Amino acid sequence: MDLYRKKVLVTGGNSFLGKYLVSKLGEKGARPFIFSSKEYDLRNELNVEKLFSATNPEIVIHLAVDCGGFKYKKENPGSMFYNNVMMNTLIQEYSRKRNVKKFVGIGTAASYPEFVKSPIKEENLWDGAPEEFNFSYGLAKRIMSTQSQEYKKQYGFNAIHLIPVNLYGPNYSNNSKDMRIIPILVEKFIEAKAEGKEQIELFGTKDAFREFLYVGDCAEAIIKATEFYDKSEPINIGSGKNIKIENLAEKVKEATGFKGNIIWKETSSDNQPDKVLEVSKAEKEFGWKAKITLEEGLKKTVEWYLINYKNFRSK
């Protein structure tokens, strides 16, 4: 699908990923429309109806989500499930009712079962329940994928579902609700260096393996999938490479120039220590693969943070 001059409704367009995506849509000559949750509450059907009437989109890319870090997920499982299911269901339903040419739903690797062998393939999605603290969020995303597949069967609706891994990169949010491991590490090491500390304490499970993807690469994957992928089967978006959290911390330490020692304070065990997605399908189906290495991405992230340090900390 040619994106030039297409009217593209981007929910969550002001988010970390959304800003990168909107920029790339502009480069393609598309006409993206973004809005705030104060303007349109996507959990409210009347608001969603008004949004579609006001924008009349040809393509909908659905990024909007109620999510956060471990603490937020642990404290808000019920509201998080409700909010995500309502947003996902209404946005996709009105995309169908208003004859949108394509709906692009953004899922999450947290949808995958807690106990599943890596590399994780798309067909593993329903092989078990998501891990406990991701259960409501992950299940809500699975439901969105199911809606896409069933709408394709019944209505011939062109809906796709992409499953990205943990994202990182410049211009991330300093909202504590949204903080992820790489931004947290970058801040800790830069502050420790600025304060002249000789050591830094890190909390968590250092032996777990996780996969990370540079946010710009993810935005590019969404663009390519929107242009060239029309199947309802979900598709993984990741680097295809995982890293031990202990080694990740060492790489962030190196990128920030901190010379002190790392003291690990283990706070929990990890039931799924090895997580990495099988990502060959994305390259096969629409010619996408990750370009930015972790080292390059960390360098860009640290450089951005150093430039924006004062403004970032004052928010």
- Tokens (6 digits) for 31: 């006409």
The strand ranges marked E within the chain are: 7-11, 31-33, 59-62, 102-106, 159-164, 166-168, 199-203, 209-214, 235-237, 242-244, 261-265
The length of the chain, given as a count of residues: 315
Q: Which of 20, 137, 151, 214 is catalytic?
A: 137
Bridge partners of 277, per DSSP, are: 120
Instruction: Note if 137 is an active site residue.
Output: yes
Element spanning 22, H or E: helix 16-27
**Rg, the chain, Cα only:** 20
Task: With beta carbons less than 8 A apart as the criterion, state whether 11 and 21 touch.
Answer: no
Query: Which residue stretches of 61-159 are H helix?
Result: 70-75, 77-97, 135-155
Q: How many CB atoms lie within 10 A of CB 135?
A: 18
Q: Are 124 and 116 in contact (CB under 8 A)?
A: yes
Question: Cβ neighbours of residue 314 under 8 Å, at least 6 residues apart?
Answer: none
User: Which are the catalytic amino acids?
Assistant: 137
